[in-house]
């Protein structure tokens, strides 16, 4: 079920984005033990002038949000944060320090799969 959205700055090639999506998918699969068909990754490109760090427009930044069902251990979460940060740095050539990862634990009753809650499906 993990779904993630990465807010990245514009200007990367289609190939870079394909590598990044693959690296994110691999990091999620590896750290959470999820089958590939359950993993969803979205990239959202920030146009020039639409982001800033410490008041500096277009300063390097990547913000990653991961929405996943509750129940992951602290170690799994730490490994996921590390894996996604490394995937970003290696795929886009940015410093890991410019990457922020936000993990959202979702109660199973709040996750819908094919019209039913994950809880109702016994997940």
The 10 Å Cβ neighbour count of residue 70 is 12
Q: How far apart are CA 78 and CA 97, in angstroms?
A: 15
Nearest to 68 by CA among 103, 25, 112: 103
Which of 2, 35, 48, 60 does the annotation list as catalytic? 2
Token representation of residue 53: 């760090």
Burial class (CB in 10 A: 0-12, 13-18, 19+), 56: exposed
- The question of whether 60 is a catalytic residue gets the answer no
Residues identified as active-site: 2
């Amino acid at each position: 079920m993990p779904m993630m959205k990465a807010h990245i700055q514009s200007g990367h090639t289609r190939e870079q984005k394909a590598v990044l999506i693959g690296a994110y998918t691999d990091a999620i699969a590896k750290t959470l033990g999820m089958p590939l068909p359950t993993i969803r990754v979205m990239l959202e490109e920030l146009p020039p002038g639409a982001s800033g760090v410490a008041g500096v427009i277009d300063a390097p930044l990547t913000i990653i949000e991961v929405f996943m069902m509750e129940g992951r251990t602290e170690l799994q979460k730490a490994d996921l944060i590390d894996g996604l940060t490394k995937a970003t740095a290696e795929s886009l050539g940015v410093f890991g320090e410019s990457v922020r990862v936000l993990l959202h634990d979702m109660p199973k009753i709040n996750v819908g799969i094919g019209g039913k809650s994950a809880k109702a499906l016994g997940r």
